[in-house]
Amino acid sequence: MSSHSVEDIKQQSARLRGTLLESLANPVTGALDEDDQTLIKYHGSYQQDDRDIREERRLAKLEPAYAFMIRTRTPGGVVTPAQWLKLDAVATTFAERGLRITTRQAFQFHGVIKTELKATMQAINAALIDTLAACGDVNRNVAVAANPLQSQLHAQVHAQAAALSEFMLPNTRAYYEIWLDEERVAGSGSEDEAVYGPTYLPRKFKIGFAIPPYNDVDVFAQDLGFIAIADTDGQLLGYNVSVGGGMGATHGDPETYPRLGDVIGFVAPDQLAQVAVGVVTTQRDFGNRVLRKRARLKYTIDDNGLDWFKAEVERRAGFALSTARPFDFVHNGDRFGWVEGADGRAHLTLRIVAGRIWDREGLTHLTGLREIARVLDDADADAQFRLTPNQNLVIAGVPAALRERVDALVAQYGLDTHVAATPLKRNALACVALPTCGLAMAEAERYLPEFTDKVQALLDTHGLRDAPIHLRISGCPNGCSRPYLGEIALVGKAPGRYNLMLGADHRGQRLNTLFRENVVEAQILDALDPVLARYAGERYAEEGFGDFLVRAGIVVPPKPAIPLQLRTENAA
Ligand code: SRM
Ligand code: SF4
């Protein structure tokens, strides 16, 4: 890797330009110059190589099979049917393995080669979607409760989240110059980054908006979380503010850990941007710029104290936060099938296993969704495709007249897997991992179907077929599928070996804990079998698996994210 630190690379990059143009033009290699590999992340892309054939290429004395992953910035994961069709065309023209829905409501394209990178970026932009700041030490794609069309409240929250995403974009024109041929002008390379400054943030930064009672965005896993508070008529009153969530950790390094956000107060809707700037600039100025492993906001808070952090944010925002309001989360998964919206239109949530939408061996999901997008686009129905933070897909705003047609296509293309799937299979998450992720230690996305089948077989044996257990797999401890919030989770250690984590609460409010370290599949199933047997025999009605494990003393939970007095049922 580069001998320059990430901080130096940012500082010397002329606002994220570096030598990207030269790197892209270099015909000798499929890779970028090392420093440019860091800078391209801010433009929404990662250089990767196909790890399945790494060894084969090495033996053949060939450079690794370099290709690029591209990630969109799609706040709340919203696109129109026309945009869907364009993104589908990008996937089929330039990428491998179709479209991938991420756990932050973005699309990823994998396998784009360097010589086609610019054309791919231009095709994405032609769909009026950008990839700016989708990766890198800046604010990432803003996650928002999944279906804004369902109620006026959702729509309001989504609009605020989208505006905040826009507001938090870097000011540099580098993206437009490099990918969209915008002309360099006086001042190019020294744009004023009013919020970020010349070295941007010490580390990635994530914002999410939840709308109780659903916590589909896992708001306490976000650096900055906003929990919408409404009155009994559904009118938005403001947001509780949560700070310092994050999942990433390193095996064997107790200085790193997953952490749930702390609720520090309440803001009115018109105070949102100021409080976000207060949090982001405090992290900019006090985050660790020496040790990247300790640079996330969660460590800035733990190293300096929550009271100090809150006071600093209030000073910068120019007002004191009000007392946080009570709220209640019941679930952090999705709700599948049709729901009626407030305006008479309907919304269909489909299960997409690990977010991967592609056509292969008798499976034609990409084609099916293309057909549905065409129907909705031709009818000019004002419908939308909405990605969920659980890697699923909502076909939203379907007018009554088109519902039957959509249903027929869903059935024809086998997109109705949510109907037959058990709750375990409907809710399971897996990160991408192999073969593209350079950090993967074990399989995740490719292992999910096989592993859920095996756990389902255990559930069936114990009469727990429809137990709504949340299962998550990550290929390494970075935690891209938010595994530390799974009731059952596997965290990759080595090929075929995982840490088995148990005991989160399916509301995104309690982390799980390590149950078995560095185990293989047979050991995992052996460990699960007796605890599932006890769950089957001893659970209370409606008691979740994670909650049972804690009550039965099988796992000892870390501290809860939400002080008890903030839960609605305990509020005065
Ligand atoms: Fe992630 C790094 C994929 C959501 C924590 N993540 C990566 C990289 C880019 C690997 C790399 O750095 O080389 C992965 C690319 C794999 C590939 O081939 O596509 C990757 N992360 C993903 C996605 C695609 C997983 C998915 O299956 O959906 C998600 C894309 C989200 C998006 O659209 O922006 C994704 N990553 C997350 C989440 C979940 C979330 O944000 O809700 C987390 C945990 C929350 C958090 O940030 O703490 C997450 N990813 C990480 C980390 C650990 C950061 C840390 O604090 O230590 C890394 C590694 C890093 O940054 O050094 C990472
Ligand atoms: Fe890669 Fe690890 Fe993230 Fe999975 S959790 S996508 S293996 S970085």
Locate the ligand 1 atom nearest the alpha carbon of residue 246 and give its number.
48
Inter-residue contact 536 to 522 (CB < 8 Å)? no
Q: Which of 51, 250, 480, 490 to mutate to test the pocket of ligand 2 (most atoms within 8 A of CB)?
A: 480
- By residue count, the chain amounts to 572
- The b/e string for 58-97 (b: 16+ C-beta within 10 A; e otherwise) is eeeeeebbbbbbbbbbbbbbbbbbebbbbbbebbeebbeb
Tell me the CA–centroid distance for residue 480 and ligand 1, in Å.
Answer: 4
Query: Does any ligand 2 atom lie closer than 6 A to the CB of residue 281?
Result: no
Does residue 560 carry a pLDDT above 80?
A: no
Q: What is the pLDDT, as a whole number, of residue 3? A: 78
Q: Which of 204, 251, 437 to mutate to test the pocket of ligand 2 (most atoms within 8 A of CB)?
A: 437
Does residue 147 carry a pLDDT above 90?
A: no
295 alpha carbon, closest ligand = 1
pLDDT band at 558 (very low <50, low <70, confident <90, very high): confident
Query: Does any ligand 2 atom lie closer than 6 A to the CB of residue 444?
Result: yes
Could you tell me which of 137, 95, 91 has the C-alpha nearest to residue 112? Answer: 95
> Chain-centre distance of CA 234, in angstroms?
27
Q: How far apart are the first and last CA of the chain?
A: 56
**Tokens read off for 226:** 């906003």
> Chain-centre distance of CA 312, in angstroms?
28
User: Is the pTM above the cut of 0.85?
Assistant: yes
Q: What is the pLDDT, as a whole number, of residue 341? A: 82
Does residue 248 carry a pLDDT above 90?
A: yes
Tell me the CA–centroid distance for residue 313 and ligand 2, in Å.
Answer: 31
> Chain-centre distance of CA 372, in angstroms?
25
The tens digit of pLDDT for each residue in 362-385 reads 899 999 999 999 999 999 889 999
Q: Is 543 helix (H, G, I), strand (E, B) or coil?
A: coil
Q: What is the pLDDT, as a whole number, of residue 344? A: 82
Does residue 165 carry a pLDDT above 70?
A: yes
Q: Can you tell me the distance from the alpha carbon of 113 to that of 17, in angstroms, rounded to the nearest whole number?
A: 20
Tell me the CA–centroid distance for residue 492 and ligand 2, in Å.
Answer: 9
Average pLDDT in the chain = 95
How many Cα atoms sit within 13 Å of 131 on the Cβ side?
30
Q: Can you tell me the distance from the alpha carbon of 175 to that of 181, in angstroms, rounded to the nearest whole number?
A: 9
The tens digit of pLDDT for each residue in 171-186 reads 999 999 999 999 999 9
Q: Residue 57 region, left (φ>0) first, then alpha (ψ -120 to 50), else beta?
A: alpha
Q: What is the pLDDT, as a whole number, of residue 322? A: 98
Q: Can you tell me the distance from the alpha carbon of 9 to that of 200, in angstroms, rounded to the nearest whole number?
A: 11
Does residue 559 carry a pLDDT above 80?
A: no
Q: What's the mean pLDDT in 86-110?
A: 98
Inter-residue contact 199 to 289 (CB < 8 Å)? yes
Tell me the CA–centroid distance for residue 9 and ligand 1, in Å.
Answer: 21
Could you tell me which of 264, 326, 258 has the C-alpha nearest to residue 504? Answer: 258
Does residue 60 carry a pLDDT above 60?
A: yes
Report the nearest-CA residue for atom 34 of ligand 1: 104
Locate the ligand 2 atom nearest the alpha carbon of residue 479 and give its number.
5
Inter-residue contact 384 to 105 (CB < 8 Å)? no
Inter-residue contact 524 to 516 (CB < 8 Å)? yes
Q: Can you tell me the distance from the alpha carbon of 238 to that of 222, in angstroms, rounded to the nearest whole number?
A: 18
Does residue 438 carry a pLDDT above 60?
A: yes
430 alpha carbon, closest ligand = 1
The pocket around ligand 1, CB under 6 angstroms, is made up of 46, 48, 69, 71, 102-104, 106, 108, 140-141, 204, 206, 221, 246-248, 296, 355, 391, 431-432, 436-439, 478-482
pLDDT band at 280 (very low <50, low <70, confident <90, very high): very high
Could you tell me which of 441, 450, 419 has the C-alpha nearest to residue 354? Answer: 450
Q: What's the mean pLDDT in 249-260?
A: 95
Q: What is the pLDDT, as a whole number, of residue 417? A: 95
Does residue 392 carry a pLDDT above 90?
A: yes
Those residues whose C-beta lies under 8 Å from the C-beta of residue 565, and which sit 6 or more positions away, are: 326, 571
Cα separations in angstroms, 487 against 211, 239, 294, 519, 557: 22, 27, 26, 17, 12
Q: Which helix (H) or strand (E) is 418 found in, with range?
A: helix 417-420
Cα separations in angstroms, 175 against 42, 181, 362: 9, 9, 39
The tens digit of pLDDT for each residue in 501-545 reads 999 999 999 999 999 999 999 999 999 999 999 999 999 999 999
The tens digit of pLDDT for each residue in 111-129 reads 999 999 999 999 999 999 9
The tens digit of pLDDT for each residue in 282-297 reads 999 999 999 999 999 9
Q: What is the pLDDT, as a whole number, of residue 572? A: 34
Q: What are the residue numbers of the active site?
A: 71, 140, 204, 206, 431, 437, 476, 480
